[in-house]
Amino acid sequence: MVQQGNLFQDLPASTLHKEVFEDILKSPAFRLERIVSQGHASPEGFWYQQLEAEWAAVIEGSARLRFEDGTIYPMSRGDYVLIPAGVRHRVDWTDPGTPTIWLAIHFPS
């Protein structure tokens, strides 16, 4: 079956109370999700540490990722990062003035 959509349509309301995570495509080998953030960050002291690798790209907006080793990656439209499985990271900041639209692919290492 053919599936189609638009990454910029059906965005959540202009004021997001929490980040929105939506699976676009799932298979046993990977998961593709769209994430919409606006002024969101990981809770203080919280670190993602996933069992799978993650490739994440900012499609629109801007954000900042922080890694446990102190590395900080500012991200804007078109930037991507590949995060190996097990690497502790967090969303340090997303633009409060405009939605940040991410694409993320989760897959086994």
**Model-level pTM?**
0.89
Q: Where are the domains of the chain?
A: 20-107
Pick from 3, 35, 2: nearest CA to 16: 35
Tokens of 80: 């991507």
Q: How far is C-alpha 85 from the chain's CA centre?
A: 15
Q: What is the pLDDT of residues 1-13, one digit of tens each?
A: 898 888 888 776 6
Span 39-48, mean pLDDT? 95
pLDDT band of 95, cuts 50, 70, 90 = very high
CATH number of this structure's domain 20-107, picked from the four choices 2.20.25.90, 3.90.180.10, 3.40.50.12780, 2.60.120.10: 2.60.120.10
Q: What is the pLDDT of residue 16?
A: 65
Q: What is the pLDDT of residue 11?
A: 77
Q: Check: CB of residue 85 under 8 Å from CB of residue 51.
A: yes
Q: What residues contact residue 84 under an 8 Å CB cut-off, 6+ apart? A: 53, 109
